[in-house]
Chains A and B, each alone.
Chain A
Amino acid sequence: MMLRKVIRFVQNEKLVPVYSSMLAIVAGLLVGFVILLLLNPSQSIQAFFTMLFAGLSNGPTSIGNVIYFASPIILTGLSVGFAFRTGLFNIGATGQLLTGGYIALLIGIRTTVFGPFTWLIALICAAITGALWSVIPGLLKMYKGVHEVVTTIMMNYVALFLVNFLVKQTIYNNLKNESLPAPADAVIPKFGLDHIFVNSNVQGGVFIAILMVIIIYVILNKTVFGFELKSVGYNKHASKYAGINVKLRGLQALMISGAIAGTAGAVIYLSDSLTFLKVQNTLPTQGFMGISVALLGLNDPIGIVFSGLFFGYLIVGGQKMQIFGLSPEVIDIITGMIVYFSALAIVFQNAAKRIFRMKAVDE
């Protein structure tokens, strides 16, 4: 009886995309393994399994580090995934993260009036900044029909150089060419997490990530507003006919997406784990990482938590690659392949159905 129930649960049609994501992960990891095999044949198996289990090898310390790396990319993933659900491709999470992160640091370092609540004010202002940074692409998309992919990318580079300039003007540590550290009042409280995950980099940002996931889940699934946002994403014309203000909803969707990415910036920089806003000419990676997280998480808030944790786990594994004389970029190769494979969803969905003996979907 029990077994039959399990089989019925496993064969649930709704789970097909989940299986397809898992197969994409396996395929991506296989590609990673082949690359290791080509470059370092003698140690490849050892290196591969070190990478695969690094996130657990040191007990709570490793798990704490996985959570530390996962928190910001769960947020950027949520930002991108939320936009996807409303029919928008927000590649601008990077820029929203940078501007939001800068404002959070500015408030954290330069204000004292809020005392122990400095971090909260900084966090809220980061969200507002992220939302404002996506207004221009939003307006261009809704009123001019300019595709948001091009505009949000351009806004990323504008944000990069603007934040470089502002950091130098206001919160600069010119010895290290980066921002000053966040003072104690501005660090997001850990509520004892550091005692559970001893010696790890774990930060309070994980609470913010979970809170945002819950908020977005409720908005998308339990409110009329969320229903309208999704409806605009599915079919603009039908939504308009049903009396929804399509342009306004689209703009709001992109602003909410920007706000989430802004909090990701605050989560990264309002920490005491020696992450500073660096003055450099390349974009921080967490924004683009969000795209991978969202796609693997099927743009679903709960799925994004899992895929964010998975990528956090992978990052911890990548850092161990230096032992074998390999650079951690092997992780990015695997990530790229996983995203590519999840784009080939039909192949993997059919494979999943074949494995679990369901009817194949038609191409």
Chain B
Amino acid sequence: MVFLLQQTLFFTMPLLVVAIGGLFSEKAGIVNIALEGIMVFGAFTGILFLYLFRDSLSGQNALLMAMMIAAIGGGLLGLMHAYATVSMNANQSISGMSLNILAPAIAVFVAKQVTPSELIPFRQKFFIESVPVLSKIPILGPILFERAYITTYIAIFIFIIALIIINRTKFGLHIKASGEHPQALDAAGVKVKRVRYTSVLLSGALAGLGGVVFFIPTSVEFSANVSGYGFLAIAVLVFSRWNIRNIIFTSFIFGFMQTVATTYSQISLFDNLSFIPAEFYRMLPYVTTILILLLSRGESAAPSAIGKPYDVSKR
């Protein structure tokens, strides 16, 4: 049970971070289907850094630096998306899709130049055996503070900060206005383009960071494939009705599905169900996403100016 919940945390945290990234962009009115590609790119830059400095850096500092670099890498792609969609009024889905093609291509291309295969290994172990004192807490202790990754804490920290930014600050208000009624925001003397740029940049940085959060606890090497996680994060956003408070619960549900999909063979609970072929477990997260969307009330909660370039003349 502890194992199951621990694994669920590993799969929930990247979804949480990337979905928050998507939230920033979409709340400001810019569709970001590039999340998938940006995750790959962020993970690529971060893990490439770990690989290149594998002899001189180790431990939590290396991981923290890798996360910073992933955020910068993701931010760069975010900047490309912002330039196309905010400055050039490009079709937001097309710009996003082009980054989804571009990012894994760059990652595989460069990886093949620096390593023998297209995978970038990271041999360092980053988990913390047990956090003193805190790991002694009954039930929660073993789940949260034993064999834990610092990425989990950072993800939760990001969630809290984002919650404060969106709901308690002036900038949060600007973001929401930029997605609901950019003309009003402009009339109030705030530069819409600047707000949108900042949001999309933040979105890219978070998605890039989410890429590292995805790979470090669940793998030993980088591959240019996050198996649709970026798109799952968009589904999380839709199902959360673009409400940041819901995102943490929705991510947990989706993370749990992913856990079942990848670790079912190690879970005694599923021993009696061994007649179900592996492929059906792998399908589970995607099938449940479709079923959940079927039951949800659709896109009525989406920011009303989403997908539309800002047109000053409509003020």
Residues on A close to B: CB < 8 A? 35, 39, 89, 91, 136, 140, 144-147, 149-151, 153-158, 161-162, 164-165, 281-282, 288, 291-292, 295, 327, 329-333, 335-337, 339-340, 342-347, 363
Contact = CB atoms under 8 A, between A and B. Distances in A.
Contacts of A342: 94
Contacts of B90: 343-346
A147 B95 CA distance: 17
A340 B98 contact: yes
Contacts of B235: 150, 154
A150 B298 CA distance: 12
B89 A346 contact: yes
Interface stretch (B63-71, B131-139, B192-200, B286-294): B286-294
A89 B93 contact: yes
Nearest to B234: A150
Interface string B86-113: 0011110111011111111110110011
A347 B88 contact: yes
B97 A91 contact: yes
Given A149-B33, A149-B93, A295-B94, A158 B101 contact: no
Contact of B105 (A153, A157, A332): A332
Given A147-B238, A150-B293, A343-B84, A332 B300 contact: no
B166 to A, nearest CB: 22
Nearest to A154: B286
B271 interface: no
29 contacts: A35-B109, A140-B293, A145-B300, A146-B238, A146-B298, A150-B231, A151-B290, A155-B290, A157-B228, A165-B277, A288-B101, A291-B97, A292-B101, A327-B118, A331-B105, A332-B101, A332-B102, A332-B108, A333-B102, A333-B105, A335-B105, A336-B101, A337-B102, A339-B102, A340-B95, A344-B88, A345-B90, A346-B88, A346-B90
Contacts of B89: 346, 363
Nearest 6 Cβ contacts at the A-B interface: A336-B102, A332-B105, A145-B298, A339-B98, A165-B279, A340-B98
B106 A158 contact: no
A333 B111 CA distance: 14
Interface in B68-84: 80, 84
Contacts of B225: 281-282
A149 to B, nearest CB: 6
B196 to A, nearest CB: 16
Nearest to A336: B102
Given A154-B290, A157-B286, A158-B290, A340 B102 contact: yes
Given A150-B293, A291-B97, A327-B108, A162 B102 contact: no
Given A145-B299, A165-B277, A154 B231 contact: yes
Tell me the interface secondary structure of chain B in the complex.
Answer: helix
A281 B94 CA distance: 25
A161 B98 contact: no
A153 B234 CA distance: 11
Contact of A327 (B95, B97, B109): B109
A162 B279 contact: yes
A164 B280 CA distance: 10
Contacts of A149: 33, 93, 231, 234
A146 B112 contact: no
B227 interface: yes
A235 to B, nearest CB: 15
Interface residues of B, number: 47
Contact of A39 (B100, B113, B287, B299): B113
B282 interface: yes
Nearest to A363: B89
B109 to A, nearest CB: 4
A30 to B, nearest CB: 15
Contacts of B156: none
Given A147-B238, A150-B289, A339-B102, 11 more contacts: A140-B294, A153-B231, A154-B228, A158-B290, A281-B227, A282-B225, A327-B109, A332-B101, A335-B101, A336-B98, A336-B103
A292 B234 CA distance: 22
Contacts of A295: 94
Given A158-B283, A344-B84, A363-B89, A140 B290 contact: yes
B242 to A, nearest CB: 13
A147 B299 contact: yes
Contacts of A136: 290
A98 to B, nearest CB: 13
A331 B105 CA distance: 8
Contact of B283 (A147, A162, A347, A363): A162
Contacts of B289: 150, 154
Contacts of A89: 93
A343 B95 contact: yes
A158 B98 contact: no
A25 B106 CA distance: 18
B294 A343 contact: no
Nearest to A164: B279
A161 B281 CA distance: 9
Interface string B264-296: 000000000000010110110011011001101
B1 to A, nearest CB: 27
Nearest to B302: A147
Contacts of A165: 277, 279-280
Given A329-B112, A344-B90, A339 B105 contact: no
A149 B230 CA distance: 12
Nearest to A334: B105
A288 B104 CA distance: 13
A165 B93 CA distance: 32
